A = this chain, B = another copy of it.
Amino acid sequence: MDIKQFERISKALGDPHRIRIMQQVGKSPGCMQCADIVEMIDLTQSAISHHIKQLTESGLLIAEKQGRNIKYAVDKDVVDTYTKFLQQLKG
């Protein structure tokens, strides 16, 4: 992982709404849809769409289109790679 992607992921994790989205998607393996997230968080659909975009663009979430819905999942490999970079900071 390069420093730029580490930065992008850290930024994506630096917002309470996005942290909550990650927690919920993590808990609901494979079956979390955007509409569910909209119900869960007190923001407009637009704002949530922006947040999800940051999470998918950083690589933390994988989006899979299913008809007119989208299913999200946490990319565990990305979390692990990020974790490794982080651990290296300990020296």
Contacts and interface: CB of A to CB of B under 8 A. Distances in A.
Interface string A24-41: 011111000000000000
B7 A10 contact: no
A36 to B, nearest CB: 15
Interface string A51-91: 00000000000000000000000101001001100111111
A74 B87 contact: no
Chain A, interface SS category: helix
Q: Which one of A19, A29, A76 has the greatest number of beta carbons of chain B within 10 Å? A: A19
Given A10-B13, A13-B86, 5 more contacts: A6-B19, A14-B14, A22-B89, A26-B89, A27-B91
